[in-house]
Amino acid sequence: MATLSNNPVTARAHTNIALIKYWGKKDDTLIIPYTSSLSLTLDQFYTDTTVQFDASRSTDQLIIDNQISSEQPLHRVSNFLDIVRRKAQINSPAIVNSHNHVPTAAGLASSASAFAALAAAASKAAGLNLTLSELSRLARRGSGSACRSIFGGFAEWQRGEDDLTSYAMPLKAAALLEDIRVVALTVERGPKAISSRQGMHLSVTTSPYYPTWVKTCQTDLTQLKLAIEKNNFAKFGKISELNAMRMHALTLSADPDFTYFNGQTLTIMNLVKQLRHNGVACYYTIDAGPNVKVLCQKASVAKVVDTFSQLLGKQNVIVAKPGPGIQYL
């Protein structure tokens, strides 16, 4: 049995951007994906979360960015805390206080950094001393992509088959990491109409292309790892861009069909291609929303930033570098 600490524990986790996407669950409860995925953790966006178990309380409380949260997020966090309580064999409610550090209203807050920080803070506050793999497995239960935010740099989430075998691990230090930059472009700040959870479920259950996605992802992942190993940025960018588009093809081919893109998203995609045509090595990737991340190298950051600042305004263009793994503060 774990020793419960009455002291608050604070952890920091950074967001990650998937280059080979996770899009679909084989097991909705345990969050076991159909495919393995690969991400890059980013230095600019992170969540700090403090957890304190308190036996004198009657219920859990969740505070996000100094506001008491509404019913729905609290419910999701309480369910997650139940997993931690079961593991630690405790039953105290907890206060969870979370701060998202994303440049003003950038619309980049993410469940990945949120659940990675929560997993780390809650497990430690509950007296559990988890290894990084165990922590990754735990974070996965909150949000799939969170299992990758336990690690800095490139992280691969190996899909596994069950709760024990599905977790992320860091990729060997890569030369490509030194030079890579991610230019985050914000075109919309509001919450999305279809969550990634709903979107992937609809894709798995209705897109006739889903089985092909599962096969293609495996090849894309192998190819991307090879490009990283060989420090081949052009190949790395091309595969990342292709994989993102293959994921979005699943939304367009679902029933009912849907898309996360808006007009600006398409404009940006065309501009990236134009830049490339003019000799600037840059590639795009897009998650479950209209915002775009442009992958480039140090030497071409100025050109990319300049192009998109003109289109979107400077405040909507943020340059990120590879970020670190989980930290206790």
**Identified binder of ligand DP6 from the candidate list 24, 144, 152, 322, rule CB under 6 A:** 144
Q: Is 246 in the site for ligand DP6 (CB under 6 A)?
A: no
Sign of CA dihedral 196, 42, 314, 305: negative
Q: Is 240 in the site for ligand DP6 (CB under 6 A)?
A: no
Least distance (Å) between residue 216 CB and ligand DP6 = 15
For 25-93, give the secondary structure using H, E and C.
EEECCCCEECCCEEEEEEEEEEEEEEEEECCCCCCCEEEECCEECCHHHHHHHHHHHHHHHHHHCCCCC
Q: Is 10 in the site for ligand DP6 (CB under 6 A)?
A: no
Cβ neighbours of residue 148 closer than 8 Å, sequence gap 6 or more = 16, 18, 37, 39, 41, 112, 136, 155, 156, 157, 168
Q: Is 145 in the site for ligand DP6 (CB under 6 A)?
A: yes
Q: For the chain, how many helices (H) and strands (E)?
A: 9, 14
Q: Which parts of 258-287 interact with ligand DP6 (CB under 6 A)?
A: 287
**Identified binder of ligand DP6 from the candidate list 10, 111, 136, 307, rule CB under 6 A:** 111
Q: Which parts of 36-95 interact with ligand DP6 (CB under 6 A)?
A: 37
- Window contacting ligand DP6 (CB under 6 A); options: 14-22, 181-189, 210-218, 310-318: 14-22
Least distance (Å) between residue 301 CB and ligand DP6 = 23
Least distance (Å) between residue 259 CB and ligand DP6 = 13
Spatial distance between the Cα atoms of 221 and 226, rounded to a whole number of angstroms? 9
Q: Which parts of 293-322 interact with ligand DP6 (CB under 6 A)?
A: none
- Window contacting ligand DP6 (CB under 6 A); options: 67-75, 143-151, 164-172, 233-241: 143-151
Encoded one letter per residue, x for contact with ligand DP6 by CB under 6 A and - for no contact, window 168-197 reads ----------------------------xx
∠ CA 110-198-209, rounded to 5° = 110
Residue 224's H or E segment, with its range, is helix 210-229
Q: What is the DSSP letter of 289?
A: S
First to last CA, the chain: 25
Q: Is 291 in the site for ligand DP6 (CB under 6 A)?
A: no
The residues of the shown chain that bind ligand DP6, judged by CB under 6 A, are: 18, 21-22, 31, 37, 111, 143-145, 196-197, 287-288
